[in-house]
Chains A and B, each alone.
Chain A
Amino acid sequence: EVQLLESGGGLVQPGGSLRLSCTASGFTFSKFAMSWVRQAPGKGLEWVSAVSGNSGSTYYADSVKGRFTVSRDNSKNTLSLQMDSLRADDSAVYYCAKSIVVVLAGGDSFDIWGQGTTVTVSS
């Protein structure tokens, strides 16, 4: 079964750090780009970051650039998001999502999503 499972969410103080992980199964992980998408409480979806299949390219939304770092370990089928200098407006459910392409490109779509992990930034 094709599956994504996130972990690592929790409560963190403003200015703190958190590392999210996403473990993939059921498909050849290295052949697809992977993204993080977040959803603040009661709000819509926001694409946050992505990494190409071979880690050669990384991408970030302006809202997290310089604070978040995306990475992947294809030997372990794992996607990670290191989140530093966290702010209250980073509070959200974070989803990992699988692309249908190896490098972000026109015509991409997210065909598999994890169940999400909740990040709360509060003092």
Chain B
Amino acid sequence: DIQMTQSPSSLSASVGDRVTITCRASQSIRNYLNWYQQKAGTAPKLLILQSGVPSRFSGSGSGTDFTLTIRSLQPEDFATYYCQQTYSIPYTFGQGTKLEIK
């Protein structure tokens, strides 16, 4: 199985900050990487390449190293973020990065 490792596991930031979350795969997954946002008590939401997702969210990377960048944090962005590889079955998720308000 492909292991997905996110860093950091938690992050404190302020409204208006720019933050970057990293996801590393245990082997190349080409660019088959998704990001999800989950707020407490709710289902995950696909974050990238979806209509309605603000342009302050961007993703980059290929192979084994990927990043999610959020420009100018807004109050509604404080949540837990997960990466997911869909290169091979079983699809696997990173352990999550909890983004908290400083």
Contacts and interface: CB of A to CB of B under 8 A. Distances in A.
A interface, size bucket: 20 to 34
Nearest to B1: A62
B45 A113 contact: yes
Contact of A107 (B32, B43, B89): B32
The number of chain B residues touching the other chain, given as a range, is: 20 to 34
Given A44-B93, A47-B90, A106-B30, A111 B46 contact: yes
Contacts of B94: 44
Contact of A116 (B1, B43, B96): B43
B interface SS class = loop
A45 B93 CA distance: 6
B34 A110 contact: yes
Interface in B46-76: 46, 49-50
B44 interface: yes
Contacts of B49: 109
Nearest to B29: A106
A95 B36 CA distance: 14
Nearest to A99: B86
Given A44-B82, A111-B50, A61 B90 contact: yes
A109 B34 CA distance: 7
A104 B87 contact: no
Nearest to A100: B46
Contacts of B82: 44-45
Contacts of A108: 32, 86, 91
B46 A109 contact: yes
B92 interface: yes
Most chain B CB atoms below 10 A, which of A35, A105, A108, A109:
A109
A111 B52 CA distance: 12
Contacts of A115: 42-43
Nearest to A49: B90
**Which 3 A-B residue pairings sit nearest by Cβ, starting from the closest?**
A113-B43, A108-B86, A45-B93
Interface of B: 1, 30, 32, 34, 36, 38, 42-46, 49-50, 82, 84, 86-96
13 contacts: A45-B36, A59-B90, A61-B90, A95-B44, A104-B89, A106-B32, A108-B91, A109-B46, A110-B44, A111-B50, A113-B43, A113-B45, A114-B43
